[in-house]
Amino acid sequence: MAVDEESLAGLSPAVQQEIGRFIAKLRRRQISSSQDVARKTLEIMRLTVATAASKDISSLIELIKAAGRAIVASSPHELTVGNMVRRVLQIVREETADDGTKGGLSAPTVEGGESTSAGGGGGSGPSLMKLLDAPDTTDYNRQPVKTVKSPILEAINELIDELSHVCSHIAEQAIEHIHANEVILTHGRDHAVEAFLKAAHKKRRFEVIVAETALSGAGRETAVVLADAGISTTLISDAAVFAMMARVNKVIIGAHAVMANGGLIATAGSHLLALAAQHASVPFVACAGLHKLTPIFLSNPEQFNVLLSPQPLLQYDEGLQGVHAPNPAFDLVPPELVSLLVTNIGGNHPSYIYRLLSEYYHQEDHNLFVN
Amino acid sequence: MSRDVSARYTQLLQADPASSSAAAIKALTEIVSSSSSTTIMGLRDDLIHAGQALGQRHDAPISIASLCELFVRFVTRTALETRDFEACRRLIGERGEQFALSVREAPRKIAKLGAPFVNEGGAVMTLGYSRIVTALLLEAAATKHFSVIVAESHPHGDGHRTARELLAAGVPVTMVEDAAVAYVIARCQMTLVGAEAVAESGGIINKAGTLQMAIVAHVCKRPFYVASESTKFARMFPLSQLDVPKTEQVRTHAAFVGQDPPPPQLVVEAPSRDYTPPCYITMLFTDLGVLTPSAVSDELIKLFD
Amino acid sequence: MVKTKEKDGDLTQQDVLQAVVIADSFVHHFRPITFSVPKVLMPLCNVPMIEYTLECLAAGGVQEIFIFCCVHAQLIEEYVRNSDLVRRLATVAVHVLVSQAPCYSSGDALREIEARGVIKSDFVLVPGDVVANVALGPLIAAHKKRREVDREAVITTVMKRLSPNHVSRRAGEQMVVALAGETGRLLLYEDANAHPEWQHKLRVPLALLQDTDCLQIHRDLYDTHIDICTPELLVLVQDNFDWQDLRRDLIPGVLGQFEYLGKTIYTHILSSEYAARVHDPHTYDMISRDIIQRWTFPIVPDANLLPGCNYHLGRSGVYKEGRLALARSCELQHNCIVGAGTSIGNASKVCESVIGRGCVIGERVNIHGSYLFAGVTVEDGASLVGCILCERVYVGRGAVVPKGSILGPGVRVGEGASLQPFVRLRLPVAEKVDEDDSFGDEDEDEEEEAGAEAADAPPSTLGEGGLGVVCKGGHPASSMRYDRPKLVGPVEGELSEDEDDAEEDVNQVQVDEDAAFEEEVADTVRRGVENNHSVDNLALEVNGLKFAQNRSFADCIVAIVPALLEELPLSGKSKKERLTEVKRCLNKWGALLKRFTQTRSDQVELMAVLAETAVASSDLSDIFELILNYVYERDDDLLPEEAILQWADEAAKDDSTGRELLEHPGTKKFLEWLRNAEEDDDEEDDD
């Protein structure tokens, strides 16, 4: 979908300019790391909230959604953008709801009283419990924006801060998962995995086998980085993964995004790696920060993928006509192949992901394009 | 009282054959409004009796018992909030109406959630007739081109009804017998069925033949989707096929229609329902959203804790 | 954080990276499309061509873009004004410069830009129809670094490796490029077509080899027309007002003036990035295919460069926008783009084509390798293969539009029509089309021609209800789908890239030239002797030849002496007679020889040639030492002893011919006598 010009009109010029610059950078693939994308999105959200001229909360929410939609529409495969927008929306709703109950209003419209809020994460969105209750009438228009703005901005700042610690929090858990004299298999280039392995290397001796991830050569870069850190590294070609799997104790890879069913979107070749791991009964571990958690169920596997230039696969100079050479950047790994998902709040099984979703995102925000 | 409720339920069902849950809720709501009790406990007892009466009907959905239990709990909770009995009764009445309305909206919501999962240019396999499934496929057909393969679901042949409704909307339909499901699965990209009840484990109870389709889909690595309203969530945990509630339906075994009656020693079984365990189900489309089977357990635990 | 405007102000003018886009190609390959729309606004994969260029520039960090336009300037200005470019490209400024004087070439354009004085520092120069995903940042940094080392570098041009037989090459384009391997300096840039004698051999001036140790001669380089230039280039272009085309005049001009201006051009060869320029319909076809196949990633259709665009990539390279009405049995086979609001009927097949917005395609239509702009209507059963259809073209039932055709906006092809391949049609116009004022006269001629041809073209080719007249366009070889003959044979084997071979060739050439010169001089001398010209006249003539062919005095001597001596009637005479003859000749013509022996080395040369001639000739060999003596004794000191002795020394060290001459008894005697005489002189001096 393209940028909707009218909805952008409500945003201040500074925000529009920032969004324009960000979209251009994403389009030109000048920002590569998910963390940078997430941080930039949060900065734009912060700016939106700070410069918003809305009188009430619901129009503030609309404004944030409009800004989010503009960026998501231009780069649909950058799922981190949508995730951060949803986090901000959840922050807004939470801050508003907190103020509402603090106001001590005992309304005839009951929100399920204590049991609902005790349900915590289950409080957001429809649930069986709330079917018979009054419709969710958190009246967002009850408080003026002014009172909640600074808590919201503070919360966003905290989120930005949390982002910068994602890799270190993931790395802290390394010791629990990597044991002495283990052989770890990895591929592609991911900062979280690198931090993970380097942190484990401080306390344990283990070996790493890196599959070169042929077309982009990302695996080669990882091998160099790990070898520089003093880890005993072996570089193999992608085709040799199955043969080497018998000697491997664990497979650890990074992910581009984690879908709502626990499946992963990861570097091309990850699905093959996962199938080989399953065949050899080797645990398959994925490291991903929570900013990569996406509340979307993939209806169409092709909708998320980016096809890159065929350049590394075919030489343009060869002049081959009639040869179709798709070069997908990503792969979809189904949840049943993933044993463990290591996030910055701890390790989880993929089937637990839906719980995290309800904690961090509000049901109404799952689909940013629906009003 | 029980006959009244039953009669009322029949009336409502005739008026709107679409949703039995809505009819049940309306009937129960009316019990509340028309009850002669003056205490909450009395009201509660009336409802429990009515629920049992409805549950004993042979055409009642399996989840009716859960629905009634849900309603009873709701009544209890509401009573805790309001002191005044009459106010409570009115509130229950209002909420009940709202609930019935939202239940009627469920197929549309589910259709919107599930339609993106249908692949453009692909084939969808389904079984028998389900109002929700048909609504979902029609919603998808509005924007995409795809075809449908229907297993006719012997002996009632509900599949023919599905085929007719889809053909009317211009969707090409292929009809196969239940035995040919494994034969055609390779042509499909996904499988979609409805459910009569969703168990606490996340598995479903549906027409006989569903479990076979699920196993075949699992083996051929096709996703198996279930579309069902949240009112079908039942508080049961079948461990095997033996735990599936038996229904009273009496019918002649299809194999013997128009044939000689079976010899006396021949044991003839004609199960009408089976239980599909959650390991074969990829995703459930409900009006609470798209859920994984484990999420279903969560919802039910939250409700009935 | 708000990026404030103050930050932009902080940037010194040096840091603002500028680019100049020349929005006119000054050729007419795309008629009749370019009658109403400038070439740079023509849609390429449903996006105006200039967007690709601007996106490449903005992605490379260019902050100020000047679009220079001549033809259809108002349309370009309007487009830039209305399309919010600055926000979309995330660049600082886009200015449109309209030419005030008629511009016939890119040279004129550069001169006008220089006159405006807007260029402050190194800038990127591209024509408006370049599609590239080149990262300009590193190129510009390399250019700046090179300028620190070589201050005279004016252009860094970007080239891509592409084999000469590659299908996306322009027809008939064969560039031969020579580079200095170590620095990438451009030494030679010629079109092989202009030199028919270069079929099997290449002539490289010797001067080039003196500049470099590693000379690379390329035939596989493709010019991407992306240049990084310095402001001095504009000054150069201003000075040389006859430089018109950038490639035909400017680059050979700068290379040619290297000796006295010293300006250099460097080349950067792309390894894995893509860059290409849309010259003509054939390259338009090729580049469209490359964009669809994502060679230009990330500048691809589903990057949605334009606002309101909404392309999604599906299977087999099919890009679709929203609101399509596709019948169930229609097939979008592979590598297509279909714009929003288009409807395609049953059983139609679309393959490797681009369809714009709002088109109506009927049933059983076959579209292969074609490009349809917005609002085209194609009725049932029609067939379009390899053609370009502009806006609002109507193709009737069952019509066949064959390969290479271009139908201008609004043309109607009637039912059942069958057009000729490579035809270009446009709507007939009532009044003169105002394509470009500068070409006013040409237009008139063309219109008359078109009118005449239309009168000739029978209406049946366009079918019932057809509307259109033939328009003259480029050669069919520049059209799409023209079967080009392949270049003969493998190129690498024939063209030797070895330095030695190049030298050998050069030497061979040199020897031939020497012989020719000698021949000429000899002829002149013989004529002079025959006709008994005066010494002065003959000297004048020989001098003239010397200057004309840039020869040295020694060369002349080498030519004159044999001519003089061999013409003498010496056979059959006695020794004494022969000597008299020679003396008489030398008496007369010695002055001539004197004119051409200015330096010691000339004298040595004279000695050498005398020796050679004399020893070689039977008549002269026995009187050689007497001749030598005579020459030595002359008053005008034609051949002093130092020269003779120097020759003797050199000859001794020389190879066999020299020593042979020394061995000759006459020479030996004379030399001996000379050396003794010297000693006597020395002894006398001592006393």
User: Per-residue DSSP letters for A207-260?
Assistant: EEEEE--TTTTHHHHHHHHHHHTT-EEEEE-GGGHHHHGGG-SEEEEE-SEE-T
As a whole number, mean pLDDT of residues A136-148 equals: 67
pLDDT over 50 at B255, yes or no: yes
pLDDT over 90 at B165, yes or no: yes
> Do C294 and A309 count as a contact with CB atoms less than 8 A apart?
yes
Average pLDDT, chain C: 80
A29 touches chain C (CB under 8 A): yes
Residue of C611 and B141 predicted with greater confidence: B141
pLDDT more than 90, % of chain B: 39
From A321's Cα to the closest Cα of chain C, the distance in A is: 9
C354 closest CA partner among C40, C46, C39: C46
pLDDT over 60 at C452, yes or no: no
CB B118 within 8 A of CB B126: no
Find the DSSP H helices in C388-498: 440-456, 491-494
Model pLDDT, residue B204: 94
The residue in chain A having the minimum alpha-carbon distance to the alpha carbon of residue B96 is A132
pLDDT over 70 at C195, yes or no: yes
The residue in chain C having the minimum alpha-carbon distance to the alpha carbon of residue B170 is C328
Model pLDDT, residue C670: 77
Tell if the pTM clears 0.95, that is, is over it.
no
Model pLDDT, residue C477: 67
pLDDT over 60 at C451, yes or no: no
How far apart CA B172 and CA C142 sit, in angstroms, is 62
Selected for mutation to probe chain C from A18, A27, A72, A304 (highest C CB count within 10 Å) is: A27
State how far Cα C34 lies from the chain centre: 26
Phi/psi at C577 (5° precision)? -65, -45
Residue of C263 and A322 predicted with greater confidence: C263
How many other C-beta atoms lie within 10 A of the C-beta of residue C572? 8
Model pLDDT, residue C501: 42
pLDDT more than 70, % of chain C: 84
Ranking A111-115, A234-238, B268-272, C21-25 by mean pLDDT, the lowest is A111-115
A127: confidence class by pLDDT, cuts 50, 70, 90? low
CB B263 within 8 A of CB B274: no
- Subunits touching C (CB < 8 Å, at least 3 pairs)? A, B
A101: confidence class by pLDDT, cuts 50, 70, 90? low
pLDDT over 90 at B155, yes or no: no
pLDDT over 60 at C371, yes or no: yes
A77 touches chain C (CB under 8 A): no
Each as own residue / partner, the long-range contacts of residues B42-47 (CB below 8 Å, 24 or more positions apart, any chain) are B43/B75, B43/B89, B44/B72, B44/B75, B44/B76, B46/B1, B47/B71, B47/B72, B47/B75
Give buried/exposed letters for C398-429 (b at 16+ CB in 10 A, else e). Answer: bbbbbbbbbbbbbbbbbbbbebebbbbbbbee
As a whole number, mean pLDDT of residues C507-513 equals: 61
Positive or negative, the CA dihedral B83, B89, B92, B98 is negative
- Subunits touching B (CB < 8 Å, at least 3 pairs)? A, C
Residue listed under structure tokens 């580049």: C287
Q: Where are the domains of chain B?
A: 2-105, 118-304
Ranking A97-111, C194-208, C477-491 by mean pLDDT, the lowest is A97-111
Relative to beta strand B123-127, strand A183-187 is unpaired
Which tens digits make up the pLDDT trace of C428-444?
A: 775 444 444 333 334 44
In chain C, what's the furthest Cα-to-Cα distance? 123
> What's the alpha-carbon Rg for chain C, to the nearest Å?
36
Average pLDDT, chain B: 86
Residue of C297 and C201 predicted with greater confidence: C297
As a whole number, mean pLDDT of residues A206-231 equals: 93
Model pLDDT, residue A107: 35
Amino acid at C456: D
Chain C residues in contact with A307 (beta carbon < 8 A):
294, 297, 313
pLDDT over 90 at C642, yes or no: no
> Do C314 and B145 count as a contact with CB atoms less than 8 A apart?
no
Model pLDDT, residue A111: 36
Residues 6 or more apart whose CB falls under 8 angstroms from that of A224 comprise: none
SS3 (DSSP) at C469: strand
How far apart CA C276 and CA C278 sit, in angstroms, is 7
Which tens digits make up the pLDDT trace of B31-74?
A: 888 877 778 788 888 888 888 888 777 677 777 777 888 778 77
Residue listed under structure tokens 């740079």: C40
pLDDT over 50 at C654, yes or no: yes
CB C179 within 8 A of CB C187: yes
The residue in chain B having the minimum alpha-carbon distance to the alpha carbon of residue C324 is B143
pLDDT over 60 at C681, yes or no: no
> Do C272 and A311 count as a contact with CB atoms less than 8 A apart?
yes
Chain C residues in contact with B145 (beta carbon < 8 A):
326, 328
Q: Which residue in the set A5, A16, A316 is minimally distant from C274, CB to CB? A: A316
Distances (CA, A) of C253 to B224, C35, C181, C221, C463: 72, 33, 21, 20, 52
CB A110 within 8 A of CB A62: no
Residue of A101 and C190 predicted with greater confidence: C190
CATH tag for B118-304 (out of 2.40.50.1020, 3.40.50.10240, 3.60.20.10, 3.40.50.10470): 3.40.50.10470
Domain B2-105 fold: Four Helix Bundle (Hemerythrin (Met), subunit A) (1.20.120)
In what side-by-side order are the strands of the sheet with B147-151?
B173-176, B147-151, B123-127, B190-193, B224-227, B283-286, B289-291
How far apart CA B83 and CA C586 sit, in angstroms, is 149
Average pLDDT, chain A: 85
pLDDT over 60 at C686, yes or no: no
Model pLDDT, residue C512: 67
Which tens digits make up the pLDDT trace of C121-138?
A: 899 999 999 999 999 999
As a whole number, mean pLDDT of residues C157-175 equals: 83
Does a cis peptide bond (omega within 30 degrees of 0) precede residue C32? yes
CA atoms within 13 A on the CB side of A365: 28
> Do A47 and C2 count as a contact with CB atoms less than 8 A apart?
yes
From A221's Cα to the closest Cα of chain C, the distance in A is: 19
B6: confidence class by pLDDT, cuts 50, 70, 90? confident
> Do C326 and B120 count as a contact with CB atoms less than 8 A apart?
no
Residues 6 or more apart whose CB falls under 8 angstroms from that of C179 comprise: C185, C186, C187, C215, C216, C218, C267
Residues 6 or more apart whose CB falls under 8 angstroms from that of C328 comprise: B145, B172, C346
